[in-house]
Amino acid sequence: MIPKTALALVFGATAAGAQAPQVAVDIAPVHALVAQVMQGVGAPELIVPPGASPHGYALQPLQMRSLSQADAVIWVGPALTPWLDAPLDVLASDASQLVLMDAPQMLKLKVREGAGFHGRDPGDGVEEVGTDAALPDATAGNIDPHAWLAPENAALWMLEIAVVLGALDPDNALTYEENARDGAAALAGLTSEVNAILEPVRSRPFVVSHDAFQYFERSFHMPAIAALSGGDGQDPDLVGAAQIREVIQTAGATCVLSEPQLDSGLADAVGAARMGVADPLGATLDPGPALYGDLLRGLATALAACLRN
């Protein structure tokens, strides 16, 4: 007897060959989640190419074409890519849109302020349920949009993605749903794997160069003590750098977790002894279904190596 999942994939692939929905996605980690949901049916298009910053990007003709042809656009939201909001109104006005930061029941964290976070509970500022509209103080300006780094959000988003795609493509709705549920279930194993990588260094203090990692920090109980620049990527001024240097010296932190596209000289300016390079976007990874898991493993491995004596 052929399992139901196998039958769904066979018939889903047949239907997709005729008319798979065209789906445009903003960043590589979200693209990976959508690609998992669409396996056996089709493949999404990536808007922000690997290595580019989502905080500021100029759309190229190829991406404009992808948006204009899209049946659905799936993106984190204007808090991460404010420059994408207006082009969507023009290029993808007829497409279904899924703004992932509006998903109900997702974990939301407020933007952290000040030079240092040391002494705070990693759960401080958490908004665990509701959409932006349902939270009076949860506006695009004070909610951290790097929410894909929490695997619990990734699991919820895959289910939301399946609903949107199933409405567009009823013939493959069962495939989308089963792929989403399988992907969400696999994240439990990924979480255990990442926790095992981090366990030997869990109590050691570290600093991040760009405050993009707090969802990862909270999910895996590894709170940073400070950030050299805010979540929007703006560098601190001289006063801020001096405050961060004091926080680092007081806590005895030796590791700064930086990103490939950022200036490593900023870490030198605040007196960090060791630099680890971690990428919250997967710039060096091949886009596709496997990228999300590889991304979280890579973050954990880079942080553990930086903190290891």
Amino acid at 99: V
What pLDDT, on a 0 to 100 scale, did the predictor assign at position 138? 42
pLDDT score of 112: 80
CA distance between the termini of the chain = 55
Q: In the predicted model, what is the mean pLDDT of residues 131-146?
A: 57
Pick from 275, 282, 268: nearest CA to 306:
275
Residue 8: both structure tokens together: 């769904």
Other Cβ atoms within 10 Å of 308 Cβ, number: 12
- The CA-based dihedral angle spanning residues 276, 32, 198, 300, taken in that order and rounded to the nearest 10 degrees: -10
pLDDT at 234: 52
For 193, residues 6+ apart whose C-beta sits below 8 A from its C-beta are: 297
Average model confidence (pLDDT) across the chain: 82
pLDDT of residue 19: 79
Cα–Cα distances in angstroms (integers) from residue 224 to residues 51, 73, 196, 219, 239, in the given order: 24, 33, 18, 12, 20
Q: Which pLDDT does position 119 carry in this prediction? A: 42
**DSSP labels for 198-234?**
HGGGTT--EEEEES--HHHHHHTT---SEEEE-TT-P
Query: Among 42-56, 172-186, 232-246, 278-292, which is the least confidently predicted range?
Result: 232-246
Could you tell me if 107 and 128 are in contact, meaning their C-beta atoms sit under 8 angstroms apart?
A: yes
pLDDT tens profile 277-295: 888 999 899 999 999 999 9
pLDDT > 90 fraction of the chain, expressed in percent and rounded = 57
Please list the residues that pair with 227 across neighbouring strands.
208
Contact 180, 37 (CB under 8 A): yes
Q: Which of 19-28, 110-119, 120-129, 180-189 has the lowest mean pLDDT?
A: 120-129
Closest Cα to residue 63, out of 231, 54, 101, 285?
54
261 CB neighbour count, 10 Å cutoff: 13
Give residue-wise pLDDT tens across range 30-70.
999 999 999 999 999 999 998 888 888 889 999 999 999 99
Strand, coil or helix: 148: helix
DSSP string, 166-182: HHH-GGGHHHHHHHHHH
Tokens representing residue 206 in the block = 């570290």
What is the distance of C-alpha 147 from the center of its chain? 5
pLDDT at 254: 78
Q: In terms of pTM, does the model score above 0.85?
A: no
Q: Is the pLDDT reported for residue 270 higher than 60?
A: no
Maximum C-alpha span of the chain: 69
Under the banding of pLDDT at 50, 70 and 90, the label for residue 168 is very high
- Could you tell me the two tokens for 218? 């909270």
Q: Which amino acid is at 228?
A: L
Give the chain's domains with CATH numbers.
Answer: 4-100+138-193 (3.40.50.1980)
